[in-house]
A and B are shown apart, each in its own frame.
Chain A
């Protein structure tokens, strides 16, 4: 009952808005229509009043003429408004202010008429203001409507029970359904079975968190029967009184996902193909090294050893390329176990010490129990930090390694006296492709991937990595790791994929 009443009320308001108080509609009407309409209205009201003179004429000469002025202004603008005011005043004077059926201009008559005219002028200016405001509101509404309707992303408004209240037409392009068809579908029924539970969980979570916004990437059944990849962002506006719904925008990103998959596969194959010849080159180099050593040809042996060192750099670069691709795809896998942190560090320090004659690695480690994580990956991070310390301190010799244990967290720092990093660059060193510039502005060689990968590895295992450095004085890179990151709250170890959607 109430519902149908409000529906009628809104359609009434809609009609009034369309035909009255719409600046553009008024301007679009020809002058004779505007004045003609006013004259007809005046005539109609006057006949009505004459017909029922006793009820609406005799004691209230101006009754209904206010209405005429309002409607005439709304329909025809200020001109017909003033016109209807003057005519109503004259009609009222002639027909309805006693003595009737004649014009008379006594002092009291004039005051009555003047008050009427004044009130009407107020009404007209008010009506003008309403017209302008409503025109502005309409324009804004139309603009936003156009924005939403023509957006390449699908925009949908969903209530708490996942019923679709509104959906923009671009859904046809994204999922093949028309808006009408799509609104009849239960949103969850088209989600890929493998992801359904996860998405439902995600959705229920979001409903509980007002004003929160979440993104996700999942498969959805297209009208053509094939699954497509959909990337969506949902914002909970249930507590916003004017919305009371979830607002979502999503798009079909199948092409992008396929391309990413191809790129990932390609890098996987390419790194494998690169590693294969490197493996045999490295093996041959080591055979040569052994044979030169056996024959006592130390000069040749030294050269082959350097060659082997260069090969190791090449192998690390190939590994970095593969790692970055995996991180981007959210597929960097960790192989976790309990391992002895200090043994790992000692092995790496000893191995890297062998690769440099110029630098001395001085290390002091706090005793620590076994920690849980990916030993190889943590080793990779530590190797990266020491290699960087060696690489970026071409003129100094000492590299200090210190570790400390506190509150179930191990912190290890690698300190050098090298070129250092300017303060404004500190935040950038863990970005992809960042490279340190040398003293002369020339950059050091490298892909700029090592610290980015290190940051990712440490983050995934619930740790932190940071730098303290001053240009020209050297850098200290540190990372800290919890003994067992599984004991941390979930958000500390969110991997890339979850963060991106």
Chain B
């Protein structure tokens, strides 16, 4: 994959302006909830009832809301970061090893294993949540972050291996053979050839699984009981379910929950955009 992002352009300069205007309007409407969130996060309920949608004068800004939000969300965010990082690393390690197995040689049994792998892809994942609950209960993984991590590692394998296998197969075989001549073990070959050469697609898969784990709320909601184990998603649902709401507090908590990913995004914009726009969709 190219390092620079280039796009074919087909439009003529002449009619560009209307396009820009329509695109910008759509984006603004799409983004405006975030503006409201930020505005309300600086109000208390009295100010909110008075004037819900405009910023007040700076002296009236309620920074206390942000303190409240940070106190509430930071432990949840720490749990989420832990779960997400462990799952992404686990997923990629397991997936790279397995796709190396399938792509490197056609070993005896490997097509049988592949068929099993693909066949079970159509198994009913929707009905899964109930039996998975029972399974985790019997494994004592219910109400633990490790249960979430293991579920998430198992959950994304099929897609990851499916994509990675083809990328590893496309690598020139001479490379592997040369490495083998030098007596490199399979782990060495993984480390020295597969990972560097497949770095872009591995990055893409990492971004996708990062987003998936980060945004997941269904599994944590069903599997976690203790409040100190809550991930961000459950924390938000819990906050939203409270009956009397101080809107400033709620919105500040939402805002703080969104910040980590926005920061990561600012520093790795290219990776995100490339990962989400090229890679896996073709």
* A and B associate: no
Residues of B within 8 A of A (CB): none
